Structure 1
């Protein structure tokens, strides 16, 4: 099902309806950064929630503000990093895994898409150390999700592993607590 938005352009971005988003932006350029009345999401945040690469690219080319925050004080980067495989993705991966490793390649492809999404946002100038209402940065979430492909990207963009969230925990503390030794080593090198 997903989320329902009060702003039609946000709903269209969430559903990856490029034609509809294009019509809204053509009508009024200010729609590009409109914030939904329900949760404050922008079209860019909506597209990042779902990992819609083409939509994100389209919005960025039209100067969508990567640093706008929603009511949870999250930017599009928080959602890009928090993006998980959907139940349908897992189902496809499991069903197709025995068939010439198609499931594995599907999983690799989805991971590469997410990496490309985060790379796009970083190149567009998103604030890598922005904190949300819990004091968490994108790096906190990448560590919680044990995302070894995104952590080096975030660190290269100067993500600070020492920033503490509202529970007093840094990204390094999270890696230690969850016993992710490879990630802990990566974070130690960055400090």
Structure 2
């Protein structure tokens, strides 16, 4: 058997032992190697073709502690070896809830806050699984508590799923109840949307501001839409403001009326300042007026004006090459107008320019879902050849990036072509022009 075939056979056998947790077989394979360095190299470099998981990933995934100890103490494999999605053995163990193995890996030098391709760390997975013991362990060992990800911080992840134990532990270890990443819902809004009253109480007791938010709905507006008024009543008790600020399209009482939530309207009515343009300022009058054509027109005008201000700010920041601030503006726009692909495509363009390749790719996918006819490679107008060429480059670079997302040249090509593609889309004169694309049969 030639060297390459022998290595391939050994690698496949090693992976199988990791999948099964067969320590005896793993030791038998090791004894066939005269050179321990060669065996260690195969353990580190040989992985699943589809996932990139090494033997250590498999061992920690199934919770086989003895195999894990053997690989680290005896073979001395790379403790932070990465999968294609940049998951370390530590994040894999945290994902599966294997506290003992996580503790062992940290003790032997595993990087505790290394994020994967989507920004998830071991602490994110502990919060996701509501594993208080694991949250406690990771925080005591120094895990970063406010790390951003595509699904927000650990506290936002926990609150958005109503994971009471994780929220309790994160707050006790210093998580900021008012901190939010990527202009998404604050932990308090996450708790209301998940309908977790316990999480809401914990956050308010932990000094969460009932009136703080960046974009989208405030905690009060969100609670006003809930059929169970205890969320709204508790926020009011915590000094939540029932009256809106300039950036709001609707007051909380109007949000309640829009969904015919009479109980919430009745709770808010005594504490809400009267709006002069309402012809009949009563509970019934408010509900009736919010469904009138006059109110819909007024709301649309307010939304258009607000989006225009945000768009101007984003363009101004982009013109000054402050791309991160521009991304911030277009995330705000998406929260106010979630079905508009323009904000998503523009944001993706600036994310590509600022080396945030994964965020750019995810937003590009969201843009395509919103406008499924947008990215097809055929155009009937005068710019057909240029449009087709730009799109082909975009597809090729995107495919190369997905196959090998960590190779520097491919990442660079992906960023550049994505920027060119979305810059071209954003320059199109109208939505009708974008939608004039059709599939090339």
TM-score range with shorter-chain normalisation?
A: 0.7 to 0.9
* From 62, 72, 82, the counterpart of 1:25: 72
Contact kept? 1:73, 1:132, Cα under 8 Å: yes
Give CA deviations for 1:140-183 in whole Å, capped at 9, x if unaligned. Answer: 11112211122121001111122224352111111123333332
1:126 aligns with 2:117: no
Structure 1 counterpart of 2:16: none
Distance 2:105 2:87 in 1: 14
* From 48, 73, 93, the counterpart of 2:119: 73
Distance 2:104 2:67 in 1: 12
* Aligned partner of residue 40 in structure 1, secondary structure: coil
* From 103, 116, 137, the counterpart of 2:133: 116
Unaligned runs of 5+ in 2: 1-18, 20-49, 208-441
Distance 1:157 1:29 in 2: 33
- Which contiguous aligned blocks of 4+ residues in structure 1 show a shift greater than 6 angstroms? none
* From 60, 71, 87, the counterpart of 2:106: 60
CA offset at residue 29 of structure 1?
4.6
Contact kept? 1:4, 1:11, Cα under 8 Å: no
CA offset at residue 75 of structure 1?
0.6
What is the RMSD computed on CA atoms of the aligned residues? Answer: 2.2
Give CA deviations for 1:60-116 in whole Å, capped at 9, x if unaligned. Answer: 2212111111111111010111127xxxxxxxxxxxxxxxxxxxxxxxxxxxxx221
Structure 2 counterpart of 1:34: 81
Structure 1 counterpart of 2:167: 151
Distance 1:60 1:16 in 2: 15
Count how many residue pairs are aligned between Structure 1 and Structure 2.
159
Contact kept? 1:129, 1:138, Cα under 8 Å: yes
- State which drifts further: 176-185 or 41-50: 176-185
Unaligned runs of 5+ in 1: 85-113
Contact kept? 2:79, 2:110, Cα under 8 Å: yes
TM-score normalised to structure 2 length = 0.34
TM-score normalised to structure 1 length = 0.74
Report which structure shows greater RCO (CA 8 Å, sep ≥6).
1
Structure 2 counterpart of 1:171: 187
CA offset at residue 30 of structure 1?
6.1
CA offset at residue 8 of structure 1?
1.4
Give CA deviations for 1:115-150 in whole Å, capped at 9, x if unaligned. Answer: 21111111111011111124x111111112211122
Structure 1 counterpart of 2:242: none
Contact kept? 1:175, 1:183, Cα under 8 Å: yes
* Aligned partner of residue 31 in structure 1, secondary structure: coil
Kindly name which structure, 1 or 2, has the bigger radius of gyration based on alpha carbons. 2
Give CA deviations for 1:28-61 in whole Å, capped at 9, x if unaligned. Answer: 656112222x211111101011101221121122
Structure 1 counterpart of 2:196: 180
CA offset at residue 6 of structure 1?
2.7
* Aligned partner of residue 182 in structure 1, secondary structure: helix
* Aligned partner of residue 164 in structure 2, secondary structure: coil
